[in-house]
Copies of this chain bind each other. A is one copy, B any other.
Amino acid sequence: MKGKATSFDIAYHAGVSQSTVSRALRNSPSVSLDTRRRIQAIAKQLNYKVDKNASSLRRQHATTLALLLFEDPTSDDSLINPFFLSMLGSITRTCARQGYDLLISFQQLSEDWHADYQDAHKADGLILLGYGDYLVSRDRLRKLEAQGTHFVRWGAVVEGQPGISVGCDNVQGGRLMTEHLLGLGRRRIAFIGNASAHCPEFLDRYLGHGAALRAAGLPVDPALHVDDATDSTEEVGYRALCDLRARGVAFDAVFAASDLLAIGAMRALDDAGVRVPAEVSVAGFDDIPMARFATPPLTTVVQNTKLAGELLVERLLKQIRGEPVESTMLPAELVIRRSCGARSAA
């Protein structure tokens, strides 16, 4: 027994042909139960595993998915948006449950991430995660689609976008949060987050925010909008809040388009001696693990990442099988913590 055992070794030990071994190991009913059992026992005993490369090559199917996490070129080398991390667990486990292996790669938005994985037959399909400029990634998505690559992405469900997405109902999330803030008696709500096609998720959250405002008969004041916050980092949130104060606009609440932005904003508020939530309410979006450990604990919008991961994998697998699939929107839900304060009156 030098090197790994092959199906020929098993065949020899079992006294059958190699083809029968192959069938038995795939549990083909055309092999008698007895033989099947016997072969499987020998395989186990010899510690035999079907060679994945040979099998994939022959079947033209890798039984592997690739998870591509793409980040802004600007972002720090070691920084991963903690939000995606929560999804990672769910995706990994769902793949395992389905018998698929998962390749993972972190890509700069600038790189040629659309290539490789499926072309080289490494994976049967791609799962795409990552913020970053949507208008940049859209072209890549189109190319992927043109090449017939199977892929699903997490993100805003946008009309006429290439491929299919699973995303949170960002409009609803934005609306719910602003309604909550209004219910708390807040009237001048600053919004931090770029609201353009570059950041469709932030845009939707802003749209929901505006809808809630208008429904309450309140104006949408552009002076309260920090529109140049495209990246989701604490630094950007910090600066956004400083800008807001530098402009001299009055506000009694801050709704940040992500938790990281909100946490940065809270720190700026603290540095400026503004009390949260006594003077200003702060709200975020995502419910990353550290949201509950912020000071004060952050009120935010949860997205069901467990379900999201499952849907992403399931949709991709369906697509690979040639079944029809559609984009899906997951409901958003508020988590009320202390950063917005309590209702002022009954």
Contacts and interface: CB of A to CB of B under 8 A. Distances in A.
Interface of A: 4, 47-54, 56-57, 62, 64, 67, 77-80, 82, 85-86, 88-90, 92-93, 96, 101-106, 115-116, 119-122, 147, 263, 289-290, 293-295, 305-306
A4 B96 contact: no
B96 A105 contact: yes
A52 B62 CA distance: 10
Given A293-B290, A293-B294, A306-B78, A93 B106 contact: yes
Main secondary structure of the interface of A (DSSP, over half): mixed
B78 A104 contact: no
Oligomer copy total: 2
A112 to B, nearest CB: 11
Contacts of A67: 104
Contact of A92 (B50, B92, B104, B306): B104
A69 B96 CA distance: 13
Given A103-B102, A105-B102, A52 B121 contact: yes
A51 B116 CA distance: 10
Contacts of A105: 92, 96, 101-102
Given A51-B121, A52-B120, A119-B47, A305 B92 contact: no
